[in-house]
A and B are shown apart, each in its own frame.
Chain A
Amino acid sequence: MVTIDTTPERPLEGVETLDRVDIPFAGDSGDGMQLVGDRFTELSAAFGNDLATLPNYPAEIRAPAGTQAGVSSFQVHISDHDIVTPGDAPNVLIAMNPAALAANLSDMVPGMTLIVNGDSFTQRDLDKAGLTANPLEDNSLDAFNLYVVPMTSITVEATKELGVKPRDAERSKNFFALGLLCWMYTRPVAPVIEWIETRFKSKEQVLAANLAAFKAGRNFGETAELFDHPYEVRPASLEPGNYRNIVGNLATAYGLIAAAQQAELPLVFAGYPITPASDILHELSKHKNFGVKTLQAEDEIAAASMAIGAAFTGALGVTASSGPGIDLKSEAVSLAVSLELPMVIIDVQRGGPSTGLPTKTEQADLMLAMYGRHGECPLPIVAAKSPSHCFDAAFEATRIALKYRTPVMLLTDGYLANGAEPWRLPDLDSLPSIKVPFATEPNSGDTFLPYLRDPETLARPWAIPGTPGLMHRVGGIEKEGIGLDGEGGTGNISYGPLNHDRMVRLRAEKVARIARDIPGVEHDTEDGADVLVIGWGSTWGQVQAGIRRIRARGLKVASAHLVHLNPFPADLGEVLGRYRKVLVPEMNLGQLSRLLRAEFLVDAVSFTKMQGVPFRAAEMEAKILELMGESA
């Protein structure tokens, strides 16, 4: 554990205290915005602020430099109280070039602060950004507090003594911006310096240049008298515990490792590189000392097939991908449904259809998870609601998969995968055992019947190769289950019409019964509320933020959130029935709302957004108010 001293570097005289700050760092893809955004996040997390982040970058590795298409941004929302979204009213925009300014200006409310790199507003830069006039000169920014800082030239100047070539020196300007921000928001600087020293240990000159740029940025804030005073955002009063900062993909990987450990099974993970799911493969491949076996398969289909092979052999078989890859896996997933073997399939949703928006978020794969296979092919669906919740969701998906011998789809999305928040480390001793027994003995006289089910869970026995006397064959062809006469269960090929009818209904019933084994709806209500806002997945944070705003107005509103999408919690129909109006915000064209309408005959109102970015709290607030019949 690294302990970070949260004492600010300077006495806090003349410092204005803010309850929250929302800062987008925006620049060209090559400007290192993700890197410094990440640093500012880590620093603020360690300082004890609550936070939420939203990285936003182009799909191209090197998009055309200086263009608006090539803008990469990292939004950090930090506060002294519990927050749930990356924020929708930035206080300060850091813009490293005209394209970054132009691409982000519409998010800025008049009166807020713009800090721009004045060195990058030449005619050439303006042309690349597609601007006909220089916004720094045409008074179009008059409504903002505009600070034009020559970041590039100061950085070059500060690193001159080090013998760094000017072109290389320019590359350190992101650390100048970080230094400036650290001064403005009284962040402790020692951890940044320590990080730079470790990260760039092998590149002496780069290390020296970045360090010099960072210090120059900080000194500039202190001495330039551009800004009248710095600000602070005090640590948030979070629930007591040990915290770290975590992004969703990392939490997912940890959740899988924890689940395998609590199931006492080896974890076998097969994946194929795809944005934004690859980091799960990257992370798991590091942890070989946990006995985790990872394989980068030849394609998505193979990855899913390998997970099934692993499951048949007694491992926790897992695969992960994003939309297009999940399409490819669907054939294998349907085999897993038919074989009734445990398996976890993770879909880190991104904008679709087809290649769509690989680096942007969306939650339009709910129907894919629910119905995206041939035949009657039901499987349980679990969805994560925040970056750290990916840990719990991965654990829960695994628990269900093992107990019911079924593939389970775990839905996360691009925003959760790359977004960060503080995570109160779970008490590992309190994690339940999710071990399920392997079959070791014949279960019907001297015979082993692979499709003789547990009467409660309807799960079939899991007999793994190597077990004497339990040799059996399973396949994708319909299998002979237990008949009404109590005979059968051999799993042998059966084309019998009544057998197929029974097996189809049994597979559906097995999934439906999981409703008995999951918590009721997460439901937050108050007397007199007649509007319910219900969401799933990553819109959780935005729904919460919207609800808070409504309640801050003294109005009554209720919210609910679904972690389990199939089956739904057993009390969902009853909860929905309590409200006059039900609002369903989703980053799709109304997939959950359609399921709720079909299942519960409620007149659910769909609220949708398909822009590759999460809802804003203000949008949520306005929509809820509209539904309440009040004007915003």
Chain B
Amino acid sequence: MSEQGVTLTRKDFESDQEVRWCPGCGDYGILAAVQFVLPELDVKPEEMVFVSGIGCAARLPYYMNTYGVHGIHGRAPALATGVALTRPDLHVWVIGGDGDMLSIGGNHLIHALRRNVNLKIIMFNNQIYGLTKGQYSPTSELGKVTKSTPFGSLDYPFNPLSVAIGAEASFVARTHDMDRKHMMETFRRMHRHPGAAFVEVFQNCNVFNDGAFAGLLKKDVRENMVIDLVHGAPIRFGSEGQHGVALNEFGEPHVVEVADVGESALLVHDEHRHDPTLAFALSRLSNGPHMPTPIGVFRDVERPIYEVEVQRQLAAASEKSGPGDLAKLIASGATWTVG
């Protein structure tokens, strides 16, 4: 909240650059949530590095009054790994879209997650390529008609949270661009998590894929479609909490009516379970924004942080062998003297 007694505000994190997303884009809401939450996190602007790849979302670093790199398509998690490896004390946030992170950069994403590099990765998922003007993305639904799929997409989509959990991510969450409070709380939790954190944000592209999440997020349906995950509580949703989530005989989660099964039959959410099976199962509850879909923190467990372990190895080596002595190093092995 404060830096040497000075209270930082949203303004301290805004750069002088004019924000240039399309009017009505969901990205504005996400940017605002990021800029609103940062002053609460007790970080100085100079200790923050925003790293992005290519795409609409990837422009976000330009709007932050922090250090930032707008890199190459898909490579942000790798470039950010270089930043975190060099200076583990920095706060490194990685911003990208579904095409950037799951298509061209899929490999870098999964490896950053498995290594547990201390990166805070926010993936804006609008299920479309926006910057290239409307091709289907790896999260677009099957049959999607776009410029590059006039007869409908034949590509089965990724479930981003399943990918992240499958890639051994230690923190996995989901939020959406219609709820600033929920976004801020999710980013707060993401920031507090030690290690790699992956947050999917449902984001509306009002130009190329307008209303992609309307079936979920429109005011009149939201209550009955969005499942707010609360750690330690039975999973319930609906205007009266009348719906819930239970496991069937195969351990697969499905939506039930609480009145039918009783509260004791409901699955109790445990985001700290080390085994990822339940978190993965929850990520499979919905296969698109037409089904009741959980938001919030799916998984939050602790694992050794990559760059901290690197530092530990360095310290151990110095402890054991003393600080590096170049003269000794180059003369290691057999040497001889001439003259």
Interface residues of A (CB under 8 A from B): 1-4, 6, 42, 45-46, 48, 191, 235, 237-245, 254, 257-258, 261, 266, 268, 270, 287-293, 295, 297-299, 301-303, 305-315, 317, 331-332, 335, 339, 424-426, 428, 465-477, 492-493
> Does more than half of chain A's interface fall in helix, strand or loop, or is it mixed?
mixed
- In chain B, positions 5-48 with a C-beta closer than 8 Å to chain A are 15, 17, 44-48
In the bound assembly, the distance between CA atoms of A143 and B62 in angstroms comes to 76
CB distance A302 to B333 under 8 Å? no
CB distance B78 to A239 under 8 Å? no
Interface residues of B (CB under 8 A from A): 15, 17, 44-51, 54, 61-62, 64-72, 75, 78-87, 89-90, 107-108, 111, 310, 313-314, 316-318, 320-324, 326-327, 329-331, 333-339
Chain B residue, CB-CB nearest to A319: B82
The contact of A258 among B46, B62, B65, B326, by CB within 8 Å, is B326
Known contacts: A6-B336, A238-B338, A242-B337. The answer to whether A306 contacts B64 by CB under 8 A is no
The contact of B71 among A257, A293, A305, by CB within 8 Å, is A305
Chain B residues with CB under 8 Å of A292's CB are 324
In the bound assembly, the distance between CA atoms of A254 and B317 in angstroms comes to 18
CB distance A239 to B338 under 8 Å? yes
What are the 9 A-B residue pairs with the smallest beta carbon separation, nearest first? A309-B82, A240-B339, A475-B70, A290-B324, A288-B317, A306-B82, A302-B78, A473-B68, A305-B78
The contact of A308 among B44, B71, B87, by CB within 8 Å, is B71
Known contacts: A313-B87, A468-B46, A474-B70. The answer to whether A46 contacts B336 by CB under 8 A is yes
Chain B residue, CB-CB nearest to A244: B335
Chain A residues with CB under 8 Å of B70's CB are 473-477
Question: Least Cβ distance of B107 to chain A in Å?
Answer: 6
CB distance A289 to B314 under 8 Å? yes
In the bound assembly, the distance between CA atoms of A242 and B323 in angstroms comes to 23
The contact of A243 among B65, B90, B318, B335, by CB within 8 Å, is B335
Chain A residues with CB under 8 Å of B54's CB are 476
CB distance A465 to B67 under 8 Å? yes
Chain B residues with CB under 8 Å of A297's CB are 78, 111
In the bound assembly, the distance between CA atoms of A242 and B65 in angstroms comes to 54
Chain B residues with CB under 8 Å of A257's CB are 324, 326, 329
Chain A residues with CB under 8 Å of B64's CB are 473
The contact of A270 among B49, B71, B82, B339, by CB within 8 Å, is B82
CB distance A317 to B333 under 8 Å? no
Chain A residue, CB-CB nearest to B47: A466
Chain A residue, CB-CB nearest to B54: A476
Chain B residues with CB under 8 Å of A468's CB are 44, 46
CB distance B81 to A289 under 8 Å? no
Chain A residue, CB-CB nearest to B324: A290
The contact of A301 among B78, B329, B331, by CB within 8 Å, is B78
Chain B residues with CB under 8 Å of A467's CB are 46
Chain A residues with CB under 8 Å of B330's CB are 244, 254, 258, 425-426, 428
Chain B residues with CB under 8 Å of A289's CB are 314, 317-318, 320-324
Known contacts: A289-B317, A335-B71. The answer to whether A309 contacts B334 by CB under 8 A is no
Given A240-B338, A305-B75, A475-B71, list of 10 further CB < 8 A pairs?
A: A2-B335, A46-B334, A243-B338, A270-B82, A293-B314, A309-B69, A331-B72, A465-B87, A466-B87, A475-B68
Question: Least Cβ distance of A394 to chain B in Å?
Answer: 13
A-B contacts, 8 of them at CB < 8 A, read A242-B331, A244-B331, A288-B316, A298-B78, A305-B71, A309-B83, A466-B90, A473-B62
Question: Least Cβ distance of A403 to chain B in Å?
Answer: 20
Chain A residues with CB under 8 Å of B326's CB are 254, 257-258, 261, 290, 428
Question: Least Cβ distance of B116 to chain A in Å?
Answer: 13
Question: Least Cβ distance of A187 to chain B in Å?
Answer: 13
Question: Least Cβ distance of B165 to chain A in Å?
Answer: 18
Question: Least Cβ distance of A138 to chain B in Å?
Answer: 44
Known contacts: A257-B324, A317-B82, A466-B90. The answer to whether A1 contacts B335 by CB under 8 A is yes
CB distance B90 to A313 under 8 Å? yes
Chain B residues with CB under 8 Å of A306's CB are 78-79, 81-82, 85
In the bound assembly, the distance between CA atoms of A227 and B122 in angstroms comes to 75
Chain B residues with CB under 8 Å of A243's CB are 335-338
In the bound assembly, the distance between CA atoms of A46 and B337 in angstroms comes to 9
CB distance B68 to A474 under 8 Å? yes
Chain B residues with CB under 8 Å of A42's CB are 334
Known contacts: A257-B329, A332-B75, A428-B326. The answer to whether A4 contacts B86 by CB under 8 A is no
